[in-house]
Amino acid sequence: MEKTAFFDVRSYDRPWFDELAPGAGLELMYLENRLGPDTAILARDCAAVCAFVNDDLGAETLRRLSEYGVRAVALRCAGYNNVDLAAAEQCGIRVFRVPSYSPASVAEHALALLLTLTRQTHRAFTRTRERNFSLEGLVGTNIEGKSVGVVGTGRVGLRFAAMVRGLGARVLAYDPDPQWGAGFEYVRLDELICRSDVISLHCPLTPRTYHMLSRAAFHQMRDGVVLINTSRGALIDSEALLDNVKSGKVGAAGLDVYEEEADVFYEDVSSKVMRDDTLNLLLSQPNVLVTSHQAFLTREALRAIAEVTTDNLRRFFAGEPVENEIGSFEPAGV
C-alpha cells in the first residue's frame, strides 16, 4: 500500500475515509497539523498528501514535499486557490481535487443564512432561551418578489438559484460562461450589483475575483442589500464590508467564509484574545451571521468527498488517468 499523509484531519472526516481507504489500497496517516513549510516533514516517505482549504500549498511547501518523496496532492475540496500550481508542476507533483461533492449542501447552507437573516431567527433563538418573547426589533422581509443576484452559476449557483426562484424571487445571474436556458436573466456584474436586493457569491477565488465586492462595488449596491458568501472569503473586501454594515448600506451579511479565516476557523478560540479587529467587529453586529466554513458539512457531502478523493488517489497509484487533475493551465474562472 502507498502511504498518504492526511493533514488537518477532524473527527468528522475519518469515518468515511476509514471505510473507503482499504478498498482503494490506501494507507492513510492522519495528522491534526495543518500542512505548511514547517509541517511538510511529517509527510516524509509518503507518496501523497491529502490537504484541505486552509493548508498552505505554496512554493516552499511543495518544494519540501518533493524533497521528502511526495508525488501527489489530493485536495478534499473543490477550490484550489491555496495551491501554487506552477510550483507543483515544477516540482513534479500532481494535484487532484473534488470538483463537485454535494452542490445541494452548499446551496442549502447559503439559503439557510439568507432566511435566518431576513427573518431574524438567530436573534429570536437567543431571546426565547432567555424567556424573552417580545417581537420588538424582529420584523423581517420576504424573499418573494425580491431580486436575487447569483454570482457564478456552476453546480452550486444553479442549485441556489433554483431554490430562491422556488420562493418567488427574481434571479439575476453573472457568469463568464452562462448556462443559457436555465430560466433566469444573465447580466453584467456591475448591473447585477446595482439591481439586486440580495447578492450571493458562488464562484472560485482567483486573481480576477479577489475583492470582487470592493469599496467601489459597495457604493453601487442598493441600500439595505443582503450579502451571502459561501465560496471564499477574499471575494469580499472585509474592511469595506464592515464599513458598509456600520453605515447601513448593507442590511445584512451571511458569511460562511472570511478572508483571514485560516488561524480561526475550525478551531475553538473561545478562551483566546481575538486579534482580528475586523472579524471582532463583524461578529458584534446583530445583522451579521458568521458560520465557520461549514457549508460542506453534511453526511452526504462528507461521503462524496471521501469517495472522490480516494478514487483520485487509487487511480494515481494505479497509473490510470485522473479526471480531476488540475495544473497551471487551469482557466481563471469567474
> Are 190 and 207 within one domain?
yes
Mean pLDDT by 10 residues, the chain (334 residues): 92 95 94 97 96 96 97 95 96 95 95 98 96 96 98 96 98 94 93 98 95 98 98 97 98 97 89 92 97 96 96 96 79 40
Catalytic residue among 94, 232, 259, 314: 232
Largest CA distance in the chain: 64
Q: Are residues 73 and 153 in the same domain?
A: no
321 and 178, same domain (yes or no): no
Unique residue bearing C-alpha cell 513549510: 37
Q: Which residue range forms the structural domain that includes residue 320?
A: 2-101+299-326
The 3-state secondary structure of the chain reads CEEEEECCCCCCCHHHHHHHCHHHCEEEEECCCCCCCCCHHHHCCCCEEEECCCCCECHHHHHHHHHCCCCEEEECCCCCCCECHHHHHHHCCEEECCCCCCHHHHHHHHHHHHHHHHHCHHHHHHHHHCCCCCCCCCCCCCCCCCEEEEECCCHHHHHHHHHHHHCCCEEEEECCCCCCCCCCEECCHHHHHHHCCEEEECCCCCCCCCCCECHHHHHHCCCCEEEEECCCHHHECHHHHHHHHHHCCEEEEEECCCCCHHHCCCCCCCCCCCCCHHHHHHHCCCCEEECCCCCCCCHHHHHHHHHHHHHHHHHHHCCCCCCCEECCCCCCCC
In the numeric block, the cell 511526495 is attached to 70
Statement to judge: residues 171 and 195 lie in one domain: yes
Q: Please check whether residues 166 and 270 belong to one and the same domain.
A: yes
Residue 155 designated active-site: no
Residue 232 falls in the annotated catalytic set: yes
Same domain for 148 and 42: no
Question: Which listed residue (63, 155, 261, 314) is catalytic?
Answer: 261
Known catalytic membership, residue 293: yes
Q: Is residue 13 part of a domain?
A: yes
Instruction: Say what the pLDDT of residue 328 is.
Output: 54
334 inside domain: no
> pLDDT value at position 327?
78
Specify whether 151 is located in the same domain as 254.
Answer: yes
Asked, for residue 331, whether it belongs to a domain, the answer is no
Decide if 36 is inside a domain: yes
CA angle (284 as vertex; 217, 276 as ends), nearest 5 = 75
**332 lies in some domain:** no
333 assigned to some structural domain: no
Summarised one tens digit per residue, pLDDT across range 119-167 is 999 999 999 999 999 999 999 999 999 999 999 999 999 999 999 999 9
Number of domains in the chain: 2
Cα gap 138→150, rounded to integer Å = 26
**In this structure, what CATH number is given to the domain that contains residue 185?**
3.40.50.720
Query: Residue 66: which residues within 8 A CB-CB, separation 6 or more?
Result: 91, 92, 93
> Do 179 and 119 share a structural domain?
yes
- On whether both 80 and 193 belong to a single domain, the answer is no
Q: Do 225 and 108 have their domain in common?
A: yes
Q: Are residues 270 and 306 in the same domain?
A: no
Q: Does residue 142 sit within a domain?
A: yes
The verdict on residue 183 lying in a domain is yes
- Do 25 and 172 lie in one domain? The reply is no
Catalytic residue among 293, 303, 320, 323: 293
- Cβ(121)–Cβ(115) below 8 Å: yes
